Amino acid sequence: METWADFRPTRLLAELVGGGVDFVVIGGVAVVAQASPRFTKDLDICYSAEPQNLAALGTVLVDMRARLRGVDEDVAFIPDDRTLRQTQIQTLTTPHGGLDLLVDPGGAPPYPKLRGRADVLDIEGFEVRFACLDDLLAMKHAAGRPQDRIDIEALEIAKRRRGRRATRPTR
């Protein structure tokens, strides 16, 4: 079983960036980067579904020996581009912690728009795209879980601190 101590998001990000994967960080890690420190146990990303990107992502996942989270080890699973083409959501375990893959997260704009509006942050010498505050807010509103409501408050405060009015973008 994974523990919080096993979660190394910077290492996961380095693997993805090093593998040439086109992605945007969403979820709890994006909230931490954009607004407020909080506990999270996995890295959530939305990624381009273009064939070359699926191949790059599949290679990184296979190299990391990613496996389905919460599923017996003896279940046949290869997280390659063929598998990625057939799924919209994957929850995986890697040597660096949990990794959740989403093609079309609720509340998010289409990937090109999500990517284009993302904030690019330097993480230990490499550039990583993080969903912008407006897109994070829209995804959190769409999810509506208790933690999402807490995140919405933190994101709204971050927007006010940056001097922008919080609005929910249209898809």
Which alpha helices (DSSP H) does the chain contain, by range? Answer: 9-18, 27-34, 51-63, 81-85, 111-117, 133-143, 146-161
**Would the pTM of this model clear 0.85, i.e. be above it?**
yes
In order along its 171 residues, the chain shows pLDDT tens digits of 444 457 899 999 999 999 999 999 999 999 999 998 888 889 999 999 999 999 999 999 999 999 999 887 777 889 999 999 999 999 999 999 999 999 999 999 999 999 999 999 999 999 999 999 999 999 999 999 999 999 999 999 999 988 755 555 555
In a domain, 28, yes or no: yes
Determine, yes or no, domain membership for 9.
yes
**Cβ count near 149 (within 10 Å):** 12
Domain count, the chain: 1
- Residues 53 and 28: their CA atoms lie apart, in Å, by 23
- Please give the angle made by the CA atoms of 35, 118 and 133, to the nearest 5 degrees: 35
Is residue 170 a part of any domain in this protein?
Answer: no
Domain that residue 81 falls in? 4-161
Q: Is residue 112 part of a domain?
A: yes
CATH number (domain holding residue 90): 3.30.460.40
166 domain residue, yes or no: no
